[in-house]
Amino acid sequence: MKHLLITTIAAVSFSLATADAKQGKPNFIVVFCDDLGYADIGPFGSKTHATPVLDKMAKEGMRLTDFYSTCSVCTPSRSSLMTGCYPRRVNMHVDEKNLCVLFPAASKGLNPSEITIAEILKEQGYATMCIGKWHLGDHPDFMPTSQGFDHYLGIPYSNDMNRKEVPLPLVRDLTVVEDSVHRDTTITARYTAEAERFIKANKDNPFFLYLPHTAVHGPLTPGAKFKGKSQDGPYGDWVQEIDWSMGKLFRVLEETGIDDNTLVLFTSDNGSAREKQGSNLPLRGRKGRTDEGGMRVPCIVRWPGKIPAGISSGALTCTMDLLPTMARLAGGKAPSDRVIDGKDIWPILSGKNVDADPRDVFYYYQMDQLQAVRSGDWKLFLAMDSKKRNWGKPEGSTVLKLFNLAKDIHEDNNVAAGNPEVVKRLIAFAEDAREDLGDVDRVGKGQRKAGWVDKPSPRLLKK
């Protein structure tokens, strides 16, 4: 009887310790919208898109007002979120034909030797799933299930990449389950339902859900019940469907009793691509450019009881920071055998040091070209040789332009002439980047190889 009692007590103690350990590891949900502009949601100033769920999320969490994607187009920005590195560091800034994003049947992809945020969390006992747009290579070696995710459901690239030879597929893990979902108006609802199922299935275990939406990348395909509901046509309708999707996620977190143990981060891969639909105001520019409107994106982070409610941070943060921050919160560490450009921003998110910049400098690359540098409130557009490629170059960028973003968020007033020491300091940062990460026609010493296959293997429906 004594032995049975001791065994029973030990079993109960082990069970409680396990429960405590699970409670100690927060769940992570990262929602990564496509081409959503800085002012496309209520918490960042939208007047045409009703986003009550995101409004509530901001009231219950923190807005990061100076949060950046590391590039103003799709593939490079996603490589940074996954690896915690600048796209040029992992050689995902261009495809094999020197185009800005990967296309179906690409030979290039995210190198499997890179350590992704999913792999780090998986080592800490997390269930991992990616639902949505991947865009880091469609060969099996480059797909989510080879990069730390237990499961995947989504479109491997952008929803406008429907080809006769490679129809736009819906893929589960590595298998095409639908030959073409081009212009599918149910895609957001389907992603949302899959996310709900994943959360319910893993409510008793720590999990990482990466939800890179197809919305609001063109062609615009909002669900039927959202059409005509906004003041901004199909674009606004789709934004409002994203808000609905967020509501469904928060509801299932509450129903499963894990809301207080889940960190949810909502952001975008770059600024809005549109001049008449979508808004990056008060920022200048759009997708494809290194003006603020191309790379500064809306970001809200919520974790009840852990992240202060209803406040904002103007610290210089970015998508690369997710990997080291979540690794730390999960009880792990960022890789130490390679350079990781991201910073642990938990001191900011926890409210301990809300406005302290975690980095001295941030680099604005457009494909293979370093175009601008930011340090503190200062942003310098570099003088670039007009004979070199100037993809997406900002107007007038063949001369040095210095802006104080705290006073001039729209980048209107060039104050380089009056601040020579600031210009000198930022140029020195730029030279460091060129040495480490490279520039046009210059390989950086700190660059690593992308993944490569000689025989591409796109995801096709088996017949």
Residue 165 to residues 104, 169, 217, Cα–Cα distance (Å): 9, 11, 22
Lookup: tokens for 314: 């103007």
**Strand pairing category for 207-212 and 127-131:** parallel
Residue 345 to residues 32, 56, 339, 351, 461, Cα–Cα distance (Å): 18, 23, 17, 10, 42
Q: Are 328 and 101 in contact (CB under 8 A)?
A: no
Active site residue 130: no
* Nearest alpha carbon to residue 216 among 369, 423, 40, 64: 40
Lookup: tokens for 311: 């406040």
Pick the catalytic residue from 135, 139, 213, 217.
135
Pick the catalytic residue from 33, 74, 85, 318.
74
Active site residue 182: no
Q: In terms of DSSP H, where are the helices of 267-416? A: 292-295, 322-329, 346-349
CA angle (302 as vertex; 300, 307 as ends), nearest 5: 115
264 vs 245: CA distance, rounded Å: 13
| Helix (H) / strand (E) containing 253 | helix 233-255
CA atoms within 13 A on the CB side of 120: 23
Catalytic residues: 74, 135
